[in-house]
Structure 1
Amino acid sequence: MCQLLIYDLICCHSSKKWSYCADSQSSGRIPCKRQTSLVVSYPTPAAFEPAPLCHRPECHFNRFDGVWDCCWCGKTHNTTGRCSGFRMYYEPTTCEHICCPFCKRGDQGL
């Protein structure tokens, strides 16, 4: 049975990888008819091979070399694709902003 692994990446994008079985066609390039899919959440569990790198040209997290400052709440030195800072609305809440083109490259030295 062929399996599609969907990796959630550190940058908040996802990457797909096929694991082909002996019943696949064209030397393992076309999945068999009995295929399954599995989402592998970040951080990747030890039972799986490491998640692939994000190859999207629009991935701002990678463009900033994995360290960025949030344009929404101002938190500096974020090291995942989603901001871990806090914002104040009616009550304190997590920012959760995803690294975007308006965010700035963070300081690598912290």
Structure 2
Amino acid sequence: MCTYYYLHHHHIAPCTRNIDIVVHYVFCSAAGTVPVQSVDSSSPFTATNTASTSVGADYTSGSSSSNTLSATSGSQDQGQTSVQTACSNVYFDPSQSVDYSDPCASGGCLTSPDCSSGACRLEQLNGCWTCCRCGQGGNRYRWCRHRMRRSPDTFCYHVCCGDCTADEPEPGM
């Protein structure tokens, strides 16, 4: 029997989003997997081997937001990963869930993976940003892929943060 309950994720400054309420699964041996296309397998931030599936919801409005799946092992050379799915016998554990009116009351405060990875900040900057570390613009990913000027065989890899600024996308992007 697979079990699920709710957790809450806080966004971190400079992100001003509300707390996300997410579903967390504890999978049993009867759980399955489903292949999904990987978004960007060259990313150093690709999810690996986790045992949770998250479905975000803004707890203040009760509306559903993004559906994100935590990737598990899969075939990287074919550009596919797989996500674990619950079995047909799913149980809700209310003792582990959060109080919607005050999610922090029982503790267990977690940081949003979107904020910690830089995805929220990238979205705030409309998908194109200038790095505060190396000063180079045209970044479209959550991390800066420009070569460092002082050490040309080293890449910046700075994750988009509160000090990075919006940039205009290059023509043809």
Task: Name the structure 2 match of 1:71.
Answer: 132
**Deviations 1:15-42 (Å, cap 9, x if unpaired)?**
843622113224xx89xxxxxxxxxxxx
User: What TM-score do you get using the length of structure 1 for normalisation?
Assistant: 0.54
Aligned pairs, number: 82
Say whether 1:25 aligns with 2:109.
no
Structure 2 unmatched runs, 5+: 1-29, 48-52, 55-68, 70-83, 95-112
Say whether 1:94 aligns with 2:160.
no
Q: Is the 8 A contact 1:2 1:24 kept in 2?
A: no
Shift of 1:3: 5.8
More helix by share: 2
Shift of 1:92: 3.0
User: What TM-score do you get using the length of structure 2 for normalisation?
Assistant: 0.36
Q: Is the 8 A contact 2:138 2:170 kept in 1?
A: no
Shift of 1:107: 0.2
Letter in 2 for 1:86: R
SS in 2 for 1:61: helix
More strand by share: 2
Runs of 4+ in structure 1 off by over 2 angstroms are: 1-5, 7-10, 12-19, 88-92
From 146, 163, 166, the counterpart of 1:85:
146
Structure 1 unmatched runs, 5+: 31-53
From 17, 31, 35, the counterpart of 1:2:
31
- What is the RMSD of the two structures over their aligned residues, measured on CA atoms? 3.8
